Copies of this chain bind each other. A is one copy, B any other.
C-alpha cells in the first residue's frame, strides 16, 4: 500500500465457511477511522443497545470519544470498565463485567464492543460469547498485538490458576475496527510486543515482509503512522487468510503458534513477568533453531529472524536464570500438548510454515533436541 492509501480506510475480509457463527466479517483499517465507528456499526453490527468493555487506562484515553461515536447511531451505549492487565483476565472479571452489562439491561438483541488491548479483546470476547448464550461482538483493538493478532480469529477466553486461556470459546467478531493512530498512546514494551507477532506472521507466511520489517524497524519504533499501517495491513492479511482457511483451529491455524510453545513455557516459568511478545521473540529463535536441528528448516533461518527481532529491540535470548529443564517441564503441561506430547509449529523456510508428513501442521520433537535448541538460544 502507498502512503496515500494509508489516509483512507482499507478493508480485509475474513471469509468463513457457511454455518460458522457468522458467514465472515470485515476488518477495517485506517488512520482516524475511530471517528467513523458509528457508521461502521450501523453498516456491520446494528443494534438498539451497545455494551462496551474497556480497561481503566484505555477508557480514560478513548472512552468518551468512542462512546460518542457509538451514540451517534442513536443506540443506547454503556461502557463498563475493569482494572487493566493480564491479572484481570479471570473468570471473576468476566463475571463482574457480565453482571454490570445485565445491570444496564443489555439484552439478546444487544452487541458488545471490546475497546482495548489483547486482554480486553479476549475477555470481552468471552463475555459476548457467553452473554445469554452469545451476542455479537465488535473488536476495536488499541494495542498492536490486539490489532494484528488477538482481535482476529475468534479466540476468546480467560486464564485460570492452572494456566492461560484455559477457559474460553470461539466467537468470530462481527466487525474489527483498527485505527493505527491509537498506537501513539501505547506503552513502548507493548508496541515491541506487538511487533514480535508481526515478525511471526512474516516468518510463517512472507519472507519479503520479513525484509520489510527489518528495513522499517527504526520507523516502526518511532511510531511512524505509515510504517505501522503497512505492518498492520500485511499482518492482518496473513492472519485473516489463515483464519479463513481454518476458522475452528483444526489444522493450519496451528502455524500461528510458531514460537509459542516455548513462549508459553517461558511465560509460565517466569509467572508471566515476561511480556507475551518478548516471550514469543525468544520462542521463535529457539523454535527456528529446533527446526534447523531437526533438518526441517534451512540453516541461517534462526539468525535471520533474530536479526529482525534485534532491530526491533526485542530479546532474542532466554533469561540467564531459566534452565532448559524448567522450560521443558512447563512445555509438557501446555494445553496444546496432546496425550502429554509437546507439539511445535515449525518453519520450512523463512516465510513458509512447515507441513508435517502426516498432513498436520505441528511436530513432535525429541526432548534432547529441544534442550539443545534451548541451550544454544541462551548463549
Contact = CB atoms under 8 A, between A and B. Distances in A.
Interface of A: 17-20, 48, 91, 95, 98-99, 102-103, 107-109, 126, 129-134, 155-157, 160-163, 165-170, 249, 335-339
Contact of A98 (B129, B160, B165): B160
Contact of A130 (B103, B132, B162, B169): B169
Given A18-B18, A18-B19, A166-B102, A336 B134 contact: no
Contacts of A336: 108
A108 B161 contact: no
Q: Which 6 A-B pairs have the closest CB atoms?
A: A19-B19, A133-B168, A102-B162, A130-B167, A17-B19, A132-B335
A162 B19 contact: no
A102 to B, nearest CB: 5
A22 to B, nearest CB: 11
Nearest to A170: B133
Most chain B beta-carbon neighbours within 10 Å: one of A91, A130, A335: A130
Contact of A335 (B98, B108, B163): B108
Contacts of A155: 133
Contacts of A156: 133
Contacts of A99: 160-162
Nearest to A339: B48
Given A17-B19, A18-B18, A130-B130, A109 B166 contact: no
A169 B18 contact: no
Nearest to A131: B167
Number of copies: 2
A322 B101 CA distance: 29
A129 B134 CA distance: 12
Contact of A108 (B48, B167, B338): B338
Contact of A132 (B95, B103, B161, B168): B168
Given A98-B160, A107-B335, A132-B165, 4 more contacts: A17-B19, A18-B19, A130-B167, A132-B167
A21 to B, nearest CB: 8
A100 to B, nearest CB: 11
A184 B29 CA distance: 61
Contact of A103 (B20, B108, B162, B338): B162
Nearest to A171: B169
Most central of A108, A161, A165, A167 by chain B CB within 10 Å: A167
Contacts of A95: 91, 160, 167
Nearest to A49: B339
Nearest to A335: B132
Given A107-B338, A335-B107, A339-B109, A157 B133 contact: yes
7 contacts: A95-B167, A102-B163, A129-B169, A130-B167, A132-B166, A133-B157, A133-B169
Contacts of A98: 160, 166-167
A273 to B, nearest CB: 23
A162 B96 CA distance: 12
A140 to B, nearest CB: 22
B91 A337 contact: no
A157 B129 CA distance: 12
Contacts of A17: 18-19
A117 B337 CA distance: 33
A309 B156 CA distance: 44
Contacts of A162: 99, 102-103
B170 A338 contact: no
B169 A107 contact: no
Contacts of A18: 17-19
Nearest to A20: B19
